[in-house]
Amino acid sequence: MIALTPEQEEFRRAVARFVDAEVVPEAEAIDERAEFPKRLFKRIGELGYLGLRYPEAYGGVDADMVTYCLFAEELARGSLSVAAAAAMQSLMGTYFVYKYGSEALRRRYLVPALRGDLIATFALTEPNAGSDVANITTRARRHGDHYVLRGTKTWVTSAPVADLLTVAAKTSDERGMKSIALFLLDRSAMGGITLGKSIEKMSVRASVTGEILLEDVEVPAEHLLGGETGGVEKIGGILAEIRVMTAAISVGLARAAYQAALGYARERSAFGKPIAEHQAIAFKLADMLTSLHAAILVTYQAAARLDAGRSIAREAAMAKLFASETAVKITDEAARIFASYGLAMEYPVQRYFRDARFLLPGGGTSEILRVIIGRDLDWDRGPAFA
């Protein structure tokens, strides 16, 4: 049983009001223009939502993971593009400077980023290194009081607009993952950081994406986040949160698609009655609602376990796997219920259908997640609801 506190219920209602008043009316336009939602991004910062997972000392609110998931779910219900940009900022883009940066770096970069004054991102993926992190080729070589970084990153969220980048690079030519380190790059203060190819996407079009080219970027030694090794372990430290967050935004998108399909099915008539009253459509809606409820349960149970300080590597993988695949299925069924109108740009269901594809690779592909879950198949270790 998932029991939200009165404060969490009121928080959800507050986010929902913001989403309905400001996000939903702009969602279609920013998707069509493939435009980073600057105004909405700034508003989210002003409302304190970017700092939900951070201490009050840095402008955050020190919220738990369940509360953060409520925010992510509601935001994704309005626009998955906006949710993706906000998630990058509020987790991966700012986490490492908070966790491993000096107090000076936190004051200089974290505080304004949580206000939405700076846009932050995380750059790990390379043209020949995705899930295979050991294969990254970006190099960081020490030269006195600074490092020189050279390499190419791709599929970088917010790349065209980012002010700050946390970049993974190898500090030696040693094979494997041991020598991977994390560096904080300031685009305005460091030369050699250029935007490569912008990636035109079919989904989450307003969450702009592209390549980042690093050409002998001089990075002060104090911008090394947590030492010259252990970058993979540092990334692993937030991976469960990323996967639970991705499950939450999957739930939000699935909710939007289900509500759209239900509303259409009640309004559209065929053979003398609303199509929702035809068994073929009613069964689709019943299956969609059942799957949606299951995705909500697995997502928030994982979030609650994380808040309780329990290990949730397996549960986070299951939540992300199930919720993202559920979102894909629900958006597909929603488009089928709309029939020909599911292809029409005048209805948001086509955007939900497209956006759902974004959820599959983020936080680990379904195939990778099944590998992780497959390593621990013992029910006796404790069911997910225990």
Q: Count CB neighbours of 367 within 10 A.
A: 10
**CATH code assigned to 232-381:** 1.20.140.10
Residue 377's pLDDT is what?
87
Q: How many residues does the chain have?
A: 386
Pairwise CA distance, residues 83 & 210, whole Å? 18
Q: Count CB neighbours of 98 within 10 A.
A: 19
Residue 382's pLDDT is what?
57
Q: What tokens appear for 322 in the block?
A: 């199930």
Residue 177's pLDDT is what?
82
Q: Count CB neighbours of 155 within 10 A.
A: 19
What are the tens digits of pLDDT across the range 25-48?
Answer: 999 999 999 999 999 999 999 999
Cα dist from 72 to 38, 77, 85, 108, 114, whole Å: 18, 9, 11, 26, 16
- Residue 38, C-beta contacts closer than 8 angstroms, at least 6 positions apart: 161
Architecture of domain 6-119: Orthogonal Bundle (1.10)
Q: What tokens appear for 143 in the block?
A: 């030269």
Q: Which residue stretches of the chain have pLDDT < 50?
A: 384
Q: Could you tell me the CATH superfamily of domain 121-229?
A: Butyryl-CoA Dehydrogenase, subunit A, domain 2 (2.40.110.10)
Pairwise CA distance, residues 314 & 37, whole Å? 34
Strand 120-123 relative to strand 164-170: parallel, antiparallel, unpaired? parallel
Q: Helices 65-78 and 6-18: crossing angle, nearest 10°?
A: 20
* Nearest in space to 20 (alpha carbons), one of 77, 84, 95: 77
User: Against a cut of 0.85, is the pTM above it?
Assistant: yes
- Per the CB < 8 A criterion, the answer to whether 303 and 65 are in contact is yes
Q: Helices 366-374 and 313-338: crossing angle, nearest 10°?
A: 140
Q: What tokens appear for 15 in the block?
A: 């986010």
Cα dist from 123 to 52, 78, 212, 301, 305, whole Å: 22, 26, 8, 30, 29
Q: What are phi and psi of 169, to 5 degrees?
A: -145, 155
Q: What angle do CA 366, 368, 372 make, to 5 degrees?
A: 110
Q: What tokens appear for 385 in the block?
A: 């609801």
- Per the CB < 8 A criterion, the answer to whether 158 and 207 are in contact is yes
- Per the CB < 8 A criterion, the answer to whether 296 and 330 are in contact is no
Pairwise CA distance, residues 214 & 125, whole Å? 13
Element (H, E) at 16: helix 6-18
* Residue type (1 letter), 345: M
Domain residue extents for the chain = 6-119, 121-229, 232-381
Cα dist from 382 to 310, 349, 361, 385, whole Å: 12, 39, 28, 8
Residue 295's pLDDT is what?
98
31 burial level (CB within 10 Å; 0-12, 13-18, 19+)? buried
Residue 380's pLDDT is what?
66
* Residue type (1 letter), 359: L
* Nearest in space to 320 (alpha carbons), one of 302, 339, 336, 304: 302
Pairwise CA distance, residues 248 & 319, whole Å? 9
Q: What are phi and psi of 183, to 5 degrees?
A: -130, 140
